[in-house]
Amino acid sequence: MFTINLQQRFRDEDEHLLSECIGSLAGFWYERVYSPLMLETADADRMRHLEQRLAHGDHLPALVAKARQKMAEPNRF
């Protein structure tokens, strides 16, 4: 089994919401918005759909570092 989460592109004025959404991954200890495999296999068409989250995920590693200090293990789905 696997899960696919889909999300519409955020409007420019709502990009702060995108940053919050990405930040919610920290509790799962995800330091990147996409796995390396997702990026390595993406052609130009797929990258168009990935680029917005990639552009707003720089804060995620710092949030994960804080989460690791507070949590013994990551959240589970």
pLDDT tens digits in sequence order for the chain, 77 residues long: 777 778 899 999 999 999 999 999 999 999 999 999 999 999 999 999 999 999 999 999 999 999 999 999 999 87
What local confidence, expressed as pLDDT, does residue 3 receive?
79
Which of 24-58 are b and which e, b meaning 16 or more Cβ less than 10 Å from the residue's Cβ?
ebbeeebebbeeeeeeeeeeeeeeeeeeebeebbe
What local confidence, expressed as pLDDT, does residue 27 receive?
96
